[in-house]
Chain A
Amino acid sequence: MVLAGELELANCSRVRDAAISLLAQSTTRIVMDLSGLSFIDSSGVGVVIGTLKRARERQGAVALVCTDPTILRVFEITGLAQVLSLHATQEEANQALREEEPS
């Protein structure tokens, strides 16, 4: 999933629905590319958390691409930087998902 612009209360349900729909298609490993985001609020953070929870329920995983310091700071303040798989590029995020794959 590639997201751009502002992820906020006004549009977070569309992103949540898209993630749920991806997971319903037997996809359990998702890269959420947030590198085009300029703003995220707690509703947007909630979508990221919800996607991660739903993926984990299906033995899946989520890796995030995020380089914007403002958005990274939100993950740090909320303590989520410790539990999210954060990466600088899509390649790194894909690699992380491959490494997590159950053998």
Chain B
Amino acid sequence: MSAPPDTTVEIRIPSDAEYIRIVRLALAGLGARLKFPYDDIEDIKLAVSEACNNAVLHATGAGGVVVRCTQTPDSLEIEVRDQGAGLSAALGARPPAEELSENGLGLFLMQALMDEVALEPTEGGGTRVNLRKRLPRCL
């Protein structure tokens, strides 16, 4: 039996917020190729932007941010990896709107927009965020 074709798309950007829009452009193309509906593509773009924002904000040195997109039989899996100090692993609830928090919405948005979100520390002291969105035909 032959191995499935490699469909991985990997982008590496510097730890600089100016480059995050390039990741969004690539994701828009990949999402369209996988026939995700418009709303899903927007969800993916925002969730991955939030993961990249966290990576850039918590970066402690060189190494950049790596966004690796892998297609599985039923999902698009996106890993966002950095060399930063690490995120708080608390995947918290939405801050109450009345409190008007200026921060802390990023993790909440990732969870609200994707089917699965997981954070873990990497061996090198950074953080890996794994995001999963089910492919449209698998819903």
By a CB distance below 8 angstroms, the chain B residues around A73 are 39, 42
Contact A10 B21 (CB under 8 A): yes
Stretch in contact with the other chain, from B3-11, B44-52, B115-123: B44-52
Convert A52-84 into 0s and 1s, putting 1 for each residue whose CB lies closer than 8 angstroms to a CB of B: 110000000000000000100110011110110
Contact B102 A53 (CB under 8 A): yes
Convert B92-131 into 0s and 1s, putting 1 for each residue whose CB lies closer than 8 angstroms to a CB of A: 0010111011110110110011000000000000000000
Q: Would you call A97 an interface residue if the criterion is a C-beta within 8 Å of the partner chain's C-beta atoms?
A: no
Contact A8 B100 (CB under 8 A): no
By a CB distance below 8 angstroms, the chain A residues around B96 are 79
Convert A1-38 into 0s and 1s, putting 1 for each residue whose CB lies closer than 8 angstroms to a CB of B: 00000101110000000000000000000000000000
By a CB distance below 8 angstroms, the chain A residues around B106 are 41-42
* Nearest A-chain residue to B96, judged by Cβ: A79
Q: CB within 8 A of B105: which of A39, A45, A50, A70?
A: A45
Contact B105 A46 (CB under 8 A): yes
Contact A70 B42 (CB under 8 A): yes
A residues contacting the other copy or chain, number (CB 8 A)? 24
Tell me the bound Cα distance from A74 to B101 in angstroms.
15
Contact B50 A83 (CB under 8 A): no
B residues contacting the other copy or chain, number (CB 8 A)? 28
Contact B53 A9 (CB under 8 A): yes
| Chain A facing B: main interface SS | helix
Contact B100 A49 (CB under 8 A): yes
- Whether A8 contacts B21 in the complex (CB less than 8 A), given A41-B46, A41-B53, comes out as yes
Q: CB within 8 A of B102: which of A9, A50, A74, A77?
A: A50
* Nearest A-chain residue to B52, judged by Cβ: A9
Contact A10 B18 (CB under 8 A): yes
Contact B97 A78 (CB under 8 A): yes
Q: Which of B17, B94, B96 has the most CB of A within 10 A?
A: B17
Contact B49 A8 (CB under 8 A): yes
Q: Which residue numbers of B lie inside 8 Å of A, CB to CB?
A: 17-18, 20-21, 24, 39, 42, 45-46, 49-50, 53, 56-57, 94, 96-98, 100-103, 105-106, 108-109, 112-113
Closest 10 pairs (CB-CB, A-B): A79-B97, A10-B17, A42-B105, A46-B102, A9-B17, A42-B106, A9-B53, A70-B42, A10-B18, A50-B102
